[in-house]
Amino acid sequence: MNRRSFINGLSAVVTAVPMANLFSMNSGKNESYNYKLNYAPHLGMFKNHAGSDPIDQLNFIADLGFTAFEDNNMRKRSVSLQNKMASVMKKRNLVMGVFVAHEIYWNKPTLTSGEKEYVDKFLSEITNSVDVAKRVNAKWITVVPGFVDLRINHSYQTANVIETLKKASEILEPHGIVMVLEPLNFRNHPGLFLTESPQAYSICKSINSPSCKILFDIYHQQIQEGNIIPNIEKCWDEIGYFQIGDNPGRNEPTTGEINYKNIFKFIKEKGFTGVLGMEHGNSIKGKEGELALIKAYQSVDDF
């Protein structure tokens, strides 16, 4: 790809964001927006501008001033592509965010059941994910304990989950890798075991490991429990990662009811230096939608 042609093509369609915030056309230097937090786009978020190639997309993300990247599907990508993406992220100073560390069962009790078959499979996938994490310089991996087991008392299910996650923590601790437990809302994912931040907090406290923290997905928790800033405050010492999405719609900030500017200001003032994954869609299709997304993030980052 001819990078100069690529950037010139972009300049022709920029209407929502001042060009000075994206690129200096005269010098060719990056004069991208200086974000206060490490927001992490994912592949496909800017495909209409950057094209379908993952490497071009990573470079585009960095050109825009984003300092992180996340990829739920990294574990499933070829080793060759993982290595190429890792090389670009290192070169462009992009922090690798989460990838999903194991197969998630959306309608079958697994870790809640305590059955050896599921526990062994999960721990094997965690072990394999260590190799992926090292390859792409990832510190965080996403874990979802799966479906409830209606045959077992909830407290016993909790004990089963804790015992398995303790074993997973023992695998991860020597490598400095952190599994982040993601509570998911009842509307999008009915029947899952882990749904609320206080529940995740209690589990992390029970496990008491630096390798087991909370993935606080603001979209999910707005639906599930609301009271976002107070719950972040209560869970603060066990939160390892954030994800973003407005509600309703699960699109970029400013498209729904969540006051992201205040939330980001609070997170920044608490001293958070980790990653905030942009796990949402674009509210508008095409290049126009991508530019609107950039404008939205600059707006809520202006605190």
Mean pLDDT, consecutive 10-residue stretches, the chain (303 aa), reads 50 43 39 92 98 98 98 98 98 98 97 98 98 98 98 98 98 98 98 98 98 99 98 98 98 98 98 98 98 98 98
| pTM more than 0.85 | yes
Q: Is residue 13 part of a domain?
A: no
pLDDT score for 137: 98
pLDDT score for 63: 98
pLDDT score for 28: 37
250 sits in the region (left: phi over 0; alpha: psi -120 to 50; else beta) called left
164 strand-pairing partners: none
* H helix runs in the chain, sequence order: 3-11, 47-50, 54-63, 79-91, 116-136, 154-172, 197-207, 218-224, 228-235, 260-269, 286-300
Task: Provide the domain count of the chain.
Answer: 1
Q: What is the CATH number for 227?
A: 3.20.20.150
Show the domain range for 97: 36-300
Q: Is residue 19 part of a domain?
A: no
Q: Is residue 46 part of a domain?
A: yes
